[in-house]
């Protein structure tokens, strides 16, 4: 007979056995998903359309590796410059000067409104806009000038385009981070007489980083893949080169796979970097920081080993 009360005189609490709940639906779903994944993986490996031998031939080929390098350079320049300019624009928008505020707001408004590809083509045709660039007195005489196309090559135009686009988004991300910092922090810094720039660099930005990093990570990963649109300017980055090669040999699918593999690898590396940078800026946020995945794995292995040795000693 089953009893459902603890007050049943014949049973003691200590003797009651705990039976975990049985999640039949969950198990069924898991099995179904595993079957689908297995099917897909099997297809990837066996379907001749993927042409894995072509993939292998090109993945580390010189052209592709060089193209990856160009992609990385475009990403790095646009990230660094974009966030530098973006930070300045963010603080302009946060400043008390209505002129700076308006200029910053307008910049963000314009560059968020223009599709990146349209902007890139604009810069590509820079010489049509400004034939010569010079240094002189505003609205006055020019002392020194240079032909704009010779000053800014195609790559330069791409970097400018990506940077200006990125700066508008970065400005909003940085501003979001700064306004997320508790107002009391600024008051405390002001009350201590800490110089203004130092307040921003030492007190505000490190704390703002916690809110900035997750979205900035998104943006940088988006940018890495976004660099593929500069193929319209015939710059030899990853996607452009892949197109050139499959235009020549017609192996579209395996070469798209080559590009995909590189984008996945680069994105993964960025994600890992983001994890550790976020961790760095989280110092002081928790009483005890959570272990890194590596530490977690190491701890797990150690506990397993301990368990194994204990069982061994128990047996003997």
- Binding window for other proteins (CB under 8 A); candidates: 78-86, 118-126, 217-225, 276-284: 276-284
What is the Cα–Cα distance from 160 to 82, expressed in whole angstroms?
Answer: 9
Site membership for other proteins, residue 286 (CB under 8 A):
yes
Among 187, 261, 272, 295, binds other proteins (CB under 8 A): 187
> Distance (Å, rounded) from C-alpha 144 to C-alpha 155?
23
184 binds other proteins (CB under 8 A): yes
- With tokens 């820079």, the residue in question is 126
* C-alpha–C-alpha distance, residues 26 and 36, integer Å: 16
Nearer to other proteins, 182 or 314 (CB): 182
The nearer residue to other proteins, 132 or 187, going by C-beta atoms, is: 187
Distance CA 263, CA 98 (A): 42
Counting residues that bind other proteins (by CB under 8 A) gives 24
Of the candidates 22, 248, 283, 315, which one interacts with other proteins according to CB under 8 A? 283
Nearer to other proteins, 116 or 189 (CB): 189
Place of tokens 């593999």: 261
What are the phi and psi torsion angles at 136 (to 5°)? -175, -160
Exactly one of 6, 99, 129, 192 binds other proteins (CB under 8 A); that residue is 192
Helix, strand, or coil here: 142? Answer: strand
- Nearest-angstrom CA–CA distance, 190 and 205: 15
| Residue labelled with tokens 């690898």 | 265
Tell me the closest approach of the beta carbon of residue 292 to other proteins, in angstroms.
18
Say whether residue 206 binds other proteins (CB under 8 A): yes
Residues near other proteins, by CB under 8 A: 182, 184-185, 187-196, 198, 202-203, 206-207, 281, 283-287
């Amino acid at each position: 007979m089953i009893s459902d009360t603890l007050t049943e005189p014949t049973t003691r609490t200590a003797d009651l056995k705990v039976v975990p709940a049985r999640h039949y639906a969950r198990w069924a779903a898991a099995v179904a998903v595993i079957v689908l994944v297995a099917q897909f993986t099997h297809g990837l490996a066996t379907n001749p359309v993927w042409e894995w031998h072509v993939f292998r031939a090109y993945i580390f080929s010189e052209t592709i590796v060089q193209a990856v390098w160009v992609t990385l350079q475009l990403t790095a320049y646009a990230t660094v410059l974009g966030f530098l300019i973006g930070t300045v624009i963010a603080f302009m928008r946060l400043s008390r000067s209505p002129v700076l505020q308006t200029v910053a707001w307008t910049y963000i408004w314009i560059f968020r409104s223009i599709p990146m590809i349209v902007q890139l083509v604009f810069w590509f045709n820079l010489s049509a806009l400004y034939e010569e660039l010079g240094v002189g007195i505003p609205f006055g005489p020019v002392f020194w000038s240079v032909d704009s196309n010779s000053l800014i090559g195609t790559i330069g135009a791409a970097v400018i385009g990506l940077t200006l686009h990125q700066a508008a988004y970065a400005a909003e991300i940085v501003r979001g981070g700064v306004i997320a910092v508790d107002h009391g922090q600024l008051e405390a810094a002001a009350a201590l007489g800490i110089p203004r720039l130092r307040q921003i660099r030492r007190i505000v930005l490190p704390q703002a980083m916690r809110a900035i990093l997750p979205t900035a990570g998104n943006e940088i990963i988006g940018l890495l893949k976004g660099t593929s649109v500069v193929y319209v300017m015939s710059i030899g980055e990853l996607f452009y080169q892949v197109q050139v090669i499959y235009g020549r040999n017609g192996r579209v699918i395996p070469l798209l796979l080559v590009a995909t593999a590189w984008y996945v690898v680069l994105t993964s590396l960025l994600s890992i970097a983001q994890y550790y940078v976020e961790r760095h800026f989280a110092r002081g946020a928790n009483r005890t920081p959570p272990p890194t995945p590596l530490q977690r794995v190491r701890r797990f292995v150690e506990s397993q080993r301990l368990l194994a040795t204990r069982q061994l000693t128990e047996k003997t």
